[in-house]
Amino acid sequence: MTECEICGKPLLGERVARIDGVIFRVCEGCVKLGEPMPVIKPIQRKIKGPNEPVFDDSYVLIENFGEKIKNARERRGMSQLQLAARIGEKESVISRAEHNAGLEEKTLKKIGRFLGISLYEKGVPGIVKKIEKKELAAGLTLGDVATVKRKRA
């Protein structure tokens, strides 16, 4: 349950007020301190169809995604330029993807969808061991819980 952002009382309904130019979620008592505003409901997202993968924090990009993209493109007999034209991207974007360069997630998903390949796998990146309570008391460093992936030369 949310609380009034002015006094901290639990909110029974959705009330919003502009107080000194700032919009707050407020209770019935605090709405009088400012100008009441209409409540704007968030837009509902499209529900994923049965064939669309649902991505969440438990999916990570596979390590060799560039090689997988290149192999799938070559199996289709396409050049980087042809693939780029088909998905509405520049040739340099395809080149960067094939060299494991950083790209936006939506671009990688678009490439994967077009080529019919999955570039993501279930997993949690960077966590290498379970942390014991004793270790917490001893003082952990980042090196104790994370692995550093080095770029291949």
Give residue-wise pLDDT tens across range 30-46.
888 999 988 766 666 66
- Does a structural domain hold residue 110? yes
Q: Looking at residue 105, which CATH number applies to its domain?
A: 1.10.260.40
Same domain, 67 and 112: yes
Residue 127 lies in a domain: no
Nearest to 32 by CA among 2, 6, 1, 3: 6
Give the residue numbers spanning the domain of 88: 59-122
Same domain, 73 and 110: yes
Q: What pLDDT score does 91 carry?
A: 92
Higher pLDDT, 11 or 48: 11
Asked if the structure places residue 113 within a domain, the reply is yes
Q: Please tell me the predicted confidence (pLDDT) of residue 128.
A: 42
Let me know whether 73 and 107 are in one domain: yes
Domain shared by 66 and 29, yes or no: no
Backbone region of residue 116 per phi and psi (left: phi > 0; alpha: psi in -120 to 50; beta: other values) = left
Residue 130 lies in a domain: no
Sign of CA dihedral 60, 65, 68, 74: positive
Q: What is the mean pLDDT of residues 60-77?
A: 89
One domain for residues 73 and 117: yes
Model pLDDT, residue 82: 93
> What is the percent of the chain where pLDDT is above 70?
66
Does 106 share its domain with 78?
yes
d(C-alpha 79, C-alpha 91), whole Å: 9
Question: What was the pLDDT predicted at 129?
Answer: 46
Domain total for the chain?
2
Cβ atoms of residues 18 and 35 within 8 Å: yes
Q: What residue type is 3 in one-letter code? A: E
Domain assignment present for 100: yes
Cα–Cα nearest to 18, from 8, 32, 29, 28: 32
**One domain for residues 70 and 35:** no
The pLDDT assigned to 127 comes to 44
Q: For residue 139, tell me if it sits in a domain.
A: no
Angle formed at CA 138 by CA 134 and CA 141, multiple of 5 degrees: 115
- 18 shares a domain with 63: no
Q: How confident is the model at residue 118 (pLDDT cuts 50, 70, 90)?
A: confident
pLDDT at residue 116 tops 60: yes
Percent of the chain whose pLDDT exceeds 90: 23
- Residues 73 and 31 placed together within one structural domain of the fold: no
Assess whether 33 and 63 both reside in one domain. Answer: no
Q: Does residue 114 contact residue 123 with C-beta atoms inside 8 Å? A: no
pTM here?
0.46
| Domain contains 131 | no
Q: Are 29 and 9 in contact (CB under 8 A)?
A: yes
In this structure, is residue 138 part of a structural domain?
no
* Amino acid at position 71, single letter: N
Q: Are 126 and 148 in contact (CB under 8 A)?
A: no
